[in-house]
């Protein structure tokens, strides 16, 4: 097995990045039956919190910071549910820059490639590995991009999010050029707060004009059920008649469609080896 690594990002916060990570990972594991791992590199640990609730986990004993300290992430895996595991973040992980400086003084490439080194054994175990990162240009995003095969960009339909997406692509291109990194934008996932809103429609049209088919046809529209998952974890409940809850099915279907589109993009990349950029 040689699993693929996906970093989900945008250099604008609050655009739905963590929700996309957790929902794509859940969909990959539950509906596609792929062995899936989430690595949470954000010291706020929001993805870890959602997945812990999803798996009914009260206490997480293992974390990514200890893995970075001990130079082994394999011992820091927490099972969430069938086919879905995570490596949890922890507040102390904010000290990553100091840790990297102490381990690799005066070696920038080693500092930003550390996760790539640690993640290699995991690619032999998992089909898909999703990385959640803070929305900043930092050692966190550097390590995630250098470890990833593909970037998935989350675009909330507001101007600042579009700017953040372009900055993300520009920075990704900088890493590609500087370190000869093989990295692709797999797709841009549009998240629309107000379907039919003038600003939302304009930003989506601008994004499609700029990035073309890289912008997915599937639009993640606001759903109250997706907000509930932040509090209660991702669920698929059944009602009194033992049939699946329709609102859960609706929320899940959106990300099944997103993942199907991303898989189609990936298949095209694997076949033709094309590059995607924001130029």
Of 162 and 26, more confident: 26
| Residue pLDDT, tens place only, 56-96 | 999 999 999 999 999 999 999 999 999 999 999 999 999 99
Please check whether residue 55 is in contact with residue 79, taking contact to mean a CB–CB distance below 8 angstroms: yes
For the chain, the domains span 4-272
pLDDT of residue 199: 84
- Does residue 1 carry a pLDDT above 80? no
Instruction: Enumerate the β-bridge partners of residue 254.
Output: none
Average pLDDT along the chain: 93
pLDDT of residue 100: 98
| Residue pLDDT, tens place only, 173-208 | 999 999 999 999 999 999 976 777 788 889 999 999
Q: What tokens does 19 get?
A: 């929700």
Domain 4-272, CATH 3.40.50.1380 — does that match?
Answer: no
Please check whether residue 245 is in contact with residue 236, taking contact to mean a CB–CB distance below 8 angstroms: yes
Sign of CA dihedral 255, 27, 85, 58: positive
Mean pLDDT of 229-250: 92
DSSP per-residue codes, the chain: ---EEEEEE-SSSSSSHHHHHHHHHHHHHHTS---EEEEE--TT-HHHHHHHHHTT-S-----HHHHHHHT-SGGG-EEEETTEEEE---GGGGGHHHHHHHHSTT-HHHHHTHHHHHHGGGGGT-SEEEEE--SSSSHHHHHHHHH-SEEEEEEESSHHHHHHHHHHHHHHHHHHHHHT---EEEEEEEEESSTT-HHHHHHHHHHHHHHGGGB-S--EE--HHHHHHHHH-S---B-TTSPBPHHHHHHHHHHHHHHHHHHHHHHHHHHH-------
- Does residue 38 carry a pLDDT above 70? yes
Q: What tokens does 65 get?
A: 């910071």
Alpha carbons 9 and 134: distance in angstroms, whole number? 8
The pLDDT > 70 percentage for the chain reads 97
Alpha carbons 97 and 212: distance in angstroms, whole number? 36
Could you tell me the pTM of the whole model?
0.94
Biggest CA-to-CA distance, the chain: 63
Q: What tokens does 28 get?
A: 């990959």
Task: Work out the angle between the directed axes of helices 17-30 and 224-232 (0-180°, nearest 10).
Answer: 80
User: For residue 215, which of 255, 185, 188 has the smallest C-alpha distance?
Assistant: 188
Please check whether residue 64 is in contact with residue 48, taking contact to mean a CB–CB distance below 8 angstroms: no
Of 242 and 34, more confident: 34
pLDDT of residue 2: 86
pLDDT of residue 273: 63
Residue in this structure with the two tokens 């950029």, named with its chain if needed: 277
- Does residue 132 carry a pLDDT above 90? yes
- Does residue 275 carry a pLDDT above 90? no
- Does residue 279 carry a pLDDT above 80? no
């Amino acid at each position: 097995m040689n699993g693929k690594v996906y970093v989900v990002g945008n250099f604008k916060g609050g655009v739905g990045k963590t929700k996309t990570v957790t929902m794509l990972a859940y969909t990959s594991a539950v509906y596609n039956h792929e062995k899936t791992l989430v690595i949470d590199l954000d010291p706020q640990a929001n993805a870890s919190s959602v997945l812990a609730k999803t798996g009914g986990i009260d206490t997480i004993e293992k974390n990514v910071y200890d893995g970075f300290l001990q130079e082994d992430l394999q011992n820091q895996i927490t099972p969430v549910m069938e086919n879905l595991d995570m490596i949890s973040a922890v507040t102390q992980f904010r000290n990553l820059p100091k840790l990297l400086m102490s381990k690799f003084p005066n070696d920038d490439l080693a500092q930003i490639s550390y996760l790539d080194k640690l993640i290699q054994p995991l690619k032999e175990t998992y089909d898909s590995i999703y990385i959640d990162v803070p929305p900043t240009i930092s050692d966190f995003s550097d390590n995630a991009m250098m470890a990833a095969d593909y970037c998935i960009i989350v675009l909330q339909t507001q101007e600042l999010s579009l700017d953040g997406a372009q900055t993300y692509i520009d920075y990704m291109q900088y890493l590609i050029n500087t370190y000869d990194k093989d990295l692709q934008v797999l797709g841009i996932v549009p998240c629309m707060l107000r379907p039919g809103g003038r600003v939302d429609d304009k930003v989506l049209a601008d994004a499609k004009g700029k990035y073309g088919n890289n912008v997915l046809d599937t639009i993640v529209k606001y759903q109250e059920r997706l907000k509930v998952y932040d509090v209660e974890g991702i669920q698929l409940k059944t009602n009194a008649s033992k049939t699946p809850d329709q609102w859960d099915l609706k929320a899940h279907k959106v990300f099944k469609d997103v993942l199907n589109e991303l898989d189609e993009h990936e298949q095209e990349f694997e076949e033709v080896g094309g590059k995607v950029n924001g130029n």
